[in-house]
Chain A
């Protein structure tokens, strides 16, 4: 049976031979990226890699704790004067904080939106279940939430010093020692760093896939790089509480 979808009498039909003068508006790049699952994942990958780069710098700076109070405190002071006189005092620091806040919010919002969509796309699982994927892959969502909570705690502990009882502003070395002199300070921090290692183990490789760098021949190298990055960051960060606990740093 033939069904006429459009007849000449169709009022919505454009008059023949007269192309519309206005071409369809080009969708904006940012808008179409954020709307699509592929684009939103790319936002997660880019923000994740920015945070990862920051964490490498942060870890290296933390290791200055082994060089003594003057070195670490001097570095903290230098950070606040960076960019002067072109930037005001602490100007660079606030720019970096703003950039990091933006990346973590974008990353978290995209993760939440994509996760909701993913769960809705598989409303019913299989009665016969199998073990799926690696531990790091399966824990990206809850591991991410743990990292988000840790970031809040970490800022309250060593930036605003709200939850750090024996802390003094301007003395990061002493404050770090104070944090890792409590059992809960060590427990929270070490748990979070193990979660970070897992997140990066899947995240770095995943970001390479998302941004279009994944190829069968390159897969092993990318996975190795992800594992090395995860191990170096986790060990580097955990060295500080271990140093305080063992008395190497006091």
Chain B
């Protein structure tokens, strides 16, 4: 396959950037999108140019490190991560636009790499459960009904890739935050922090400069893990419930 790529190049956080056009040859349909970029980078290095910076780690769709906007869609045309997107979904001769996640809370570090540490701070403010450590508890010490376990597991699938933020016209982190809140708030292990978790995580989300939700639904379309749009509604309910209960903090 022969492709024309228009890729966002930006030397550093404060530098101006621009879409730069590249031609690549010899791309096979079974290559992943990242392997296609590796091929381009090898050519750039041989030519003495700076390779294109992009984030990646597991390359098997589970770590959430990779992510770029391909032809205006976060992670490209298939519901999967960029590392699991294969070139067979493109045609010979295509022109492909590649841009970094765009959101005020995700500043560009270099080329296609953005700083997603705002997600870590949201997690840090409530994405945990308090458990006694030291000895392993019995596996069946806390019974979890099957529907609850399924719901929690569905939301535990979120890999924190940030595609939801990238796809949202408001740069909102509601889908990500709701995945974390619903995951832990539905389990008995998460019950002690049920109120403070949702209030603190939503508070941090707002403080980090993410936008609000207008129920546009782009996030759930982009999510490679299929976190449903209605998870945001579940989190809204948890938030309003926690507020009415006075935040679960002792008087």
Chain A contacts to B: CB under 8 angstroms? 23-24, 26-27, 29, 32-33, 35-42, 114, 117-130, 132-133, 137, 140, 202, 205-206, 208-216, 219
B223 at interface, CB cutoff 8 A: no
Asked if A130 and B171 make an inter-chain contact with CB atoms under 8 angstroms apart, the answer reads no
Q: Which chain B positions have C-beta within 8 A of A206?
A: 214-215
Least Cβ–Cβ distance between B74 and chain A, in angstroms: 10
Tell me which residues across on chain B come within 8 A of A128, comparing CB atoms: 69, 71-72, 97, 99
Whether the pair A133, B218 counts as a contact (CB closer than 8 A) is: yes
Contact B237 A212 (CB under 8 A): yes
Q: Using Cβ atoms and an 8 Å threshold, which residues of chain A touch B192?
A: none
Residues of B near A130 (CB, < 8 A) are 71-73
Q: Which B residues lie within 8 Å of A125 (CB)?
A: 102
Task: Answer whether residue B236 sits at the interface, using C-beta atoms and an 8 A cutoff.
Answer: yes
Q: Given A118-B211, A122-B103 in contact, is the A42-B240 Cβ separation under 8 Å?
A: yes
Apart from A117-B211, A122-B170, A140-B214: 7 A-B pairs, beta carbons within 8 A:
A23-B251, A37-B212, A118-B211, A122-B102, A202-B215, A215-B234, A219-B230
- With beta carbons under 8 angstroms apart, the residue of A23, A26, A41 that contacts B213 is A41
Q: How far is it, in angstroms, between the C-alpha of A140 and the C-alpha of B214 when the chains are bound?
A: 9
A40 pairs with B212, CB closer than 8 A: yes
Q: Using C-beta atoms within 8 Å of the partner chain, give the interface range for chain B.
A: 35 or more
The CA-CA distance from A216 to B97 in the complex, in Å, is 33
Does residue B191 face the partner (Cβ distance < 8 Å to A)?
no
CA distance A213 to B237 in the complex (A): 7
Interface of B, secondary structure class, is mixed
Are B69 and A132 in touch, CB under 8 angstroms? no
User: Are B212 and A209 in touch, CB under 8 angstroms?
Assistant: no
Contact A137 B246 (CB under 8 A): no
- Listed by A's residue number, 8 A-B pairs whose Cβ atoms lie within 8 Å are A23-B249, A42-B240, A122-B102, A130-B72, A202-B215, A211-B240, A212-B238, A219-B230
Is B247 located at the chain interface by the 8 A CB criterion?
Answer: yes
Instruction: Tell me if B13 counts as interface (CB < 8 A to partner A).
Output: no
Using Cβ atoms and an 8 Å threshold, which residues of chain B touch A127? 6, 8, 19, 97, 99
Contact of B236 among A23, A129, A209 (CB under 8 A): A209
A157 to chain B, nearest CB (A): 31
B102: chain A residues at CB < 8 Å are 122, 124-126
Contacts of B236 in A (CB 8 A): 38, 41-42, 209-212
Known contacts A36-B202, A130-B73; A137/B214 CB under 8 A? yes
Known: A118-B172, A126-B69, A128-B97. A37 touches B213 (CB 8 A): yes
